[in-house]
Amino acid sequence: MDPKVVYETERLVVRDWVDTDEDRVFDIYRRWEVSRWLGAQPRVMTARDAASRTIERWHERNQDPLHGVWAVEERSTAVVAGTVLLVPLPDPSDGTESKGEVEVGWHFHPDAWGRGLATEAALGAIAHGFRGGLEQIYAVVRPDNAASLAVCRRLGMRPLGRTRRWYDAELEAFLI
């Protein structure tokens, strides 16, 4: 069965994850140069079976037609370049999902860096969110993640400054 396609861009097919993506998920998230930017306590994926559990978790998340954590596949090669997400930010008061603040994010394999794929995937995710009724979308980036800060600028996002509002970490916040 083919995975559900969420949206497409000129070079990308953004779709649900499939079990055969497990090796690529592990290869992306086992790398410190990717994982160092993620979560309040960054850590690498250390076991291949963690990739299958992660895909299962994303499958559950992706039941919502608006929000999700999706595979970004390059159309020309059918290789998964990375992940793009459109998810509710955690509610600052209790950590549960926020009822109105939504984040766009991206995590790409180093072999996909420097080609504009994160920007292209994120533009598609933002358009998907706006088509689905969202009025604004945030991005949150670690202050020293120069590449993702540049993506936010290319997306036309407005910088809001540093905050500790989400994820129990100091982050640069952006809004579109």
- 40: tokens are 């309040």
Q: Name the nearest CA neighbour of 16 among 29, 3, 2.
A: 3
DSSP 81-140: EEEEEEEEEEPTTTSSEEEEEEEEEEEE-GGGTTSSHHHHHHHHHHHHHHHTT-S--EEE
Q: Is 152:174 a contact under the CB 8 Å cutoff?
A: yes
Q: What share of the chain is helix, strand, coil (3-state, %, to 5)?
A: 30, 30, 40
Using CB atoms within 10 Å of the CB of residue 119, give its burial: 0 to 12 exposed, 13 to 18 middle, 19+ buried: middle
104-162 tens-digit pLDDT: 999 999 999 999 999 999 999 999 999 999 999 999 999 999 999 999 999 999 999 99
- Looking at residue 121, its pLDDT comes to 98
- Would you say residue 89 has pLDDT above 70? yes
- Per the rule left: phi > 0, alpha: psi between -120 and 50, beta: everything else, 149 is alpha
Tell me the C-alpha distance between 64 and 96, whole Å: 16
Q: Which domains does the chain have, with CATH numbers?
A: 5-175 (3.40.630.30)
Entry pTM: 0.93
Q: What is the pLDDT confidence band of residue 41, given thresholds at 50, 70 and 90?
A: confident
The answer to whether 117 touches 81, Cβ cutoff 8 Å, is yes
Beta-carbon contacts of residue 93 (< 8 Å; ≥ 6 apart): none
